[in-house]
Structure 1
Amino acid sequence: MPVQEVLFGFGAHSGIDDGPELLRMAQQADRDGLDIFSLSDHPYIGGRLDAYASIAFVLGRTRHIAGFANVTNLPTRPAPMLARTVTTLSSLSGGRVVLGMGAGGLWDRISDMGVPRLSPGDAVEAFEEAIVLVKRLSGGGPPVTYHGHHYRVDEIEPAPVAAPPVWTGSVGRKSLAVTGRVADGWLPGHAADWLSERYRTSRPVIDEAAAAAGRDPGEVRTVFNFPGRITDRPEPATRDRDGRWIGGSADQWTEELTGAVLEHGASGFILFSPRGGTPDPGSAGRWAQEIVPAVREGSRRRAPGRTRSGPGPALA
């Protein structure tokens, strides 16, 4: 099977007053050839831009780059309406959207929004139902009737637009297994890279669940939310004493990420600042103009089987 094209992007946690800067960064990333941008989804924080309204606005002002919520706060965005949102975004943007999905983490704040609190087991069950339902309400076909424990729809016409790829932020074993069964990608979490304990212990759970469901585990890509500093000169150490990546020169980043692609199967990287926030414009520019092209070239030169699935970013 051909190797998936590696995706590169940047992540942002944008406040109400940050809209112009977010748009500027996304437009520059679009010109620089990045594949994707992500926004956090915390609707209980009044000072934040709404993720989906912002994604729609940015997609309307760009040509190639895709957007996604990293990850969607599912309990506050019911699956049937979420399906309508993402298929509409996909239709209007020419397929430039990914559906990031999470079971819900900050339940104290989520319940403050008037959403009934779910037990961890019920939250994971609702998470899987939501992914299944979004996909069934996409791609055309006859009306959908679905009666799950958490979602129910009766004779609802699906959108004639294919569902976007679904990437999850799964952490626990049950939600990791959901990712293997029904999702298209996995985001291990901030700073949890290919050398981390989280990756080493979690990825096999996804692979086993995918195989048990009759899927090729390689169909579930791993995309890393990757914070770090980009320095002018090489650093004596690019990882801290706990083995966590802290950054280095453009050449050190290139070597590290190329190795991650070729030796560990990484298929995407989303840049964040060293503290996990929005990268500064200088770092974002060096990422897009120096590091990303070098990693793409190194990966293709040493692994010629890589393919894209058509025009625009190969997101699936």
Structure 2
Amino acid sequence: MTDYGHDLTFGAFITPVASPAHQPVELAILSEKAGLDMVGFQDHPYQPALQDTWTLMSYVAARTERVRVVGNVLSLPLRSPVTLARGAAALDRLSGGRVEMGLGAGAYWDGVVAMGGRRLTKGESVEALEEAVAVLRGLWATNERGGFRFDGRYYTVAGARRGPVLAHHVPIHIGAYGPRMLRLTGRVADGWLPSLSYLPDGLDSLAGMSEQIDDAAVAAGRDPAAIVRLLNIGGRFTTRADGVFDGPPEHWAEQIAEVTLNTGVSGFFLMSDTPAEIESFGQEIAPRVRELVAAARAH
């Protein structure tokens, strides 16, 4: 059992549909009203049925006041880390420090290539992601003198000026599943952001995968507790408890609290575009989870 003692956060994972264009925006506004902390959007630039995620994040940040906006996760092969660094800094300043960065190494390579991106092997995509994190952090390091230089295999920066200054520390969460990505997360990331539906053994995968992150963090001289664990979850809201995230709000709350106390996951995104489910997650489930976890921690 592992509980890192992190504050609990709850969010909505909203599909960035292109039509109707304002649907994801209205769901984000609803999420804020329901008391949720975050809104996240998947990123598939090669899919015209979905809106451009960064543009949507910017629009949502302008239409809301409190919720944090998260790329969940951004498709790095089609997004230059230099441009991401500048865009994140601008949006973070404009939104009052409400931006979080989720990065993915890439998965749908036919779509990436069709958009002009470079096809990479799994190993290459992991290396490219680690370089991108270094570029982001280097350009955000405005307390360091001189231009930022980086000479990598995949990305090169030849003395670019750093900045602008972030409104707050923008955390970098990585969508990791394989051993190499998990080790990368432990070495350099602020957070781990997988989806439950992609975990090989569902919730049973969390402890072992999190342990791999911890081992890599320790080997890199980091405190494993410095890495936040987040999770995209989905399920059914019914009147009878009938499995993992399948039942009434109390059943959901008990299961989420158990996941936090046993695996250290402290951030949960509900994968739903149904207003009533988002409201229940923010107004019923999240407060109850906080109560359960606080009581367990107190003992």
TM-score (norm 1): 0.87
Residues 194 and 90 of structure 1: CA distance in aligned 2, closer, same or farther (over 3 Å) = farther
Alpha-carbon deviation of 1:163? 4.8
Distance 2:76 2:141 in 1: 21
Which residue of 2 is the match for residue 188 of structure 1? 194
Match of 2:120 in 1: 118
**Residue in 1 aligned with 2:278?**
284
Tell me, in whole angstroms, the C-alpha distance in 1 between the residues paired with 2:174 and 2:298: 28
Instruction: Please name the residue that 1:60 is paired with.
Output: 62
Matched AA of 1:78: S
- 1:168 matched to 2:174: yes
Partner of residue 159, structure 2:
155
Unaligned runs of 5+ in 2: none
Return the letter of the residue paired with 1:286: S
Residue by residue over 1:159-216, the C-alpha shift from the partner in whole angstroms, topping out at 9 and shown as x without a partner, is: 1225510111112211111110110111222334996343243222211111111101
- Which residue is 1:260 aligned to? 259
Answer yes or no: is the 8 Å Cα contact 1:194–1:266 preserved in 2.
Answer: no
SS in 1 for 2:280: helix
Cα distance in 2 between the residues matched to 1:252 and 1:119: 41
| Change beyond 3 A, Cα 1:109–1:66 | same
Gaps of 5+ in 1: 239-244, 273-277, 306-316
For residues 65 and 208 of structure 1, the distance between their equivalents in structure 2, rounded to whole angstroms, comes to 32
CA RMSD of aligned residues (A): 2.0
Structure 1 residue ranges (4+ consecutive) displaced by more than 6 angstroms after TM superposition: none
Q: Scaled by the length of structure 2, what TM-score is found?
A: 0.92
- Counterpart residue identity of residue 189, structure 1: S
Q: For residues 28-43 of structure 1, what are the structure 2 equivalents within 5 Å?
A: 28-43=30-45
Q: 1:46 to 1:10 in 2, by over 3 A?
A: same
Amino acid at match of 1:258: A
Paired position in structure 2 for 1:206: 213
Deviates more, 1:132-141 or 1:72-81: 132-141
Q: Give secondary structure in 2 for the equivalent of 1:215.
A: coil
Q: Residue 231 of structure 2 corresponds to which residue in structure 1? A: 224
How has the CA–CA distance of structure 1 residues 17 and 219 changed in structure 2, closer, same or farther, with 3 Å as cutoff? same
Q: 1:220 to 1:193 in 2, by over 3 A?
A: farther
Q: Could you tell me how far apart the structure 2 residues matched to 1:282 and 1:291 are?
A: 12
Cα distance, 1:74 vs. partner?
A: 0.1
Correspondence for 1:309: none
Q: CA deviation at 1:304?
A: 4.9
Higher helix proportion (structure 1 or 2): 2
Aligned length: 292
Identity percentage of aligned residues = 33
